[in-house]
Amino acid sequence: MAEQTVHGEIEVGVGPVTPEDVVAVARHGRAVRLTDEARQALARGRAVVERLAARPTPAYGVSTGFGALASRHIPIEDRARLQRSLVRSHAAGSGSEVEREVVRALMLLRLSTLATGATGIRPETAQRLGDLLSHGLTPVVREHGSLGCSGDLAPLSHCALALIGEGEVRDATGTLLPAAEALEAAGLAPVELAAKEGLALVNGTDGMLGMLVLALEDLRLLLRTADVAAAMSVEAQLGTDRVFAAELQALRPHPGQARSAANLVRLLADSGVVASHRGPDCHRVQDAYSLRCAPQVHGAARDTVDHAAAVAGRELASAVDNPVVLLDPGEGADRGRVESNGNFHGAPVGYVLDFLAIAAADVASMSERRTDRFLDQFRSRGLPPFLADDPGVDSGLMIAQYTQAAIVSELKRLAVPASVDSIPSSAMQEDHVSMGWSAARKLRRSVDGLARVVAIEVLTASRALDLRAPLEPAPGTAAVVAALRAAGVGGPGPDRHLSPEIEIAVELVRTGAVVREVEEQIGGLD
């Protein structure tokens, strides 16, 4: 397992890096260090490649072309050029730059696979990839180019291109530089690729996996925030908390549902608003589904996240390359063989990326429905139309719900699976691909959209809770209202420029500030 050293570096060894390691390197700029065990594994794997490269018999990836060109045996004098040509030709991405955190995540995950020794790359080449991370040099990777089979070829090739001193990178300050210039400034020499090294650097599911790990981190936070938003909505719409009782949830024992319901019970405890209509005079039989069934939907999303995390964990423990070096136990340091395989196929990762986009769309859809109920005077139980100060003159939060609805509509389109849309490539040699990279890219948009939708619900519910005064909200939900007001989101009143307030709410959701405010009052949410 990867461990953090006293110097704050992330150690990369022969075991898998953790999701926490990925987040630390990708988002927080942590440096990395190869362990001695990893260097030994790299040396053993390389010895096998060197032995096979010296033989006259062709070995795929070592002394042959690639993909549909694998039948050509490449003479020794052309093999360095073969590796350079592979990297240059495969760095064929197009479109916008991929986010720095994604590129750093995929570089770390490629380094983790290299460190197993199963790719046959030289220790010094693996070290140089780690050097890029530690010096904050981020290769420019383009949005389009990966089919998610034979790995994320184009994105990884752009990273490999920087290793050989070509292409462009951004330094730690974000400045765009030619790779050769950035390497020189960091005191790093470009790599002269040897047999199989180009292939080892570009053949993996690291891009889609990195985006999956980052999305899981975000979704876990957003699902806790969605519980907070739902509690605020149940409270401000004078709903009941009795439907969230543990004995009712136990009748349908989905673990995520139980966790979400428990959060709602705790969030609504000691609410003066809820208590005001809990007595015998309350004749309301049932709340709308968007209120009553929040644990069922939020819980199903949680269970989907847990399933996706299990897949990510298995993938983090994988050595994805083709061909792969298999060492013969009990033999000499260079005894082993190189075998072709299909482990680069991104289907396991692509499927769960698509599953998560479906879950995100549905949680957002329910959030939007709760928001809409606040704005309709016939369903809001006494609140003014659109929560406006002077309805007719003021529009209140009418168009905030339009924004939510537009995002939710986009999330539904993004929920269409990418992983079923295979398209053949490489002269039909690669005749079924995963589209996992595309699934990951759209999931990032889904996560962003879900944060915005939940933020608008929180903003709307906070105004409604203010309008329920003098009734007092629960301690946790009151803390969220106070945090919004302190950050610059105003309470009820005449119309004002709303977009900046929405963006403040979005930032409070994204950074986890909403959940932190609640947890300071009532303890940790599950």
Q: What is the DSSP letter of 93?
A: -
Whether 110 contacts 121, CB under 8 Å: no
Is 60 known to be catalytic?
yes
Alpha-carbon distance of 108 to 297, in angstroms, equals 34
Q: Which pair of tokens denotes residue 468?
A: 């329920």
Instruction: Give yes or no for a contact between 458 and 231, defined as CB atoms under 8 angstroms apart.
Output: no
Distance CA 321, CA 145 (A): 19
Contact 106, 155 (CB under 8 A): yes
Close Cβ partners of 89 (under 8 Å, ≥ 6 residues apart): none
DSSP tag of 363: H
Q: Exposed, middle or buried by CB within 10 Å (0-12, 13-18, 19+), for 269?
A: middle
Report DSSP state, residue 62.
T
Q: How many angstroms from the chain centroid is the CA of residue 17?
A: 16
Torsion-angle region of residue 427: left (phi > 0), alpha (psi -120 to 50) or beta? left
Count of positions (residues) in the chain: 526
16/467 Cα distance (integer angstroms): 52
**Which residue is catalytic, options 60, 289, 351, 402?**
60
Element (H, E) at 32: strand 32-34
Give the Cα separation of 370 and 511 in Å (integer): 23
Report the alpha-carbon distance of residue 272 to residue 270 in Å, rounded.
6
What is the three-class DSSP state of 482?
helix
Structure tokens at 18: 């953790």
Q: Is the peptide bond before 16 cis (omega within 30 degrees of 0)?
A: no
DSSP 164-217: TT-SEEE-TT--EEEHHHHHHHTT-PPP---TTHHHHHH-SSHHHHHHHHHHHH
Residues sharing a CB contact under 8 Å with residue 63, sequence separation 6 or more, in sequence order: 52, 53, 55, 73, 74, 76, 79, 195
Alpha-carbon distance of 105 to 380, in angstroms, equals 45
Give CA–CA dist 47/479, Å, rounded: 61
Residues noted as catalytic:
60
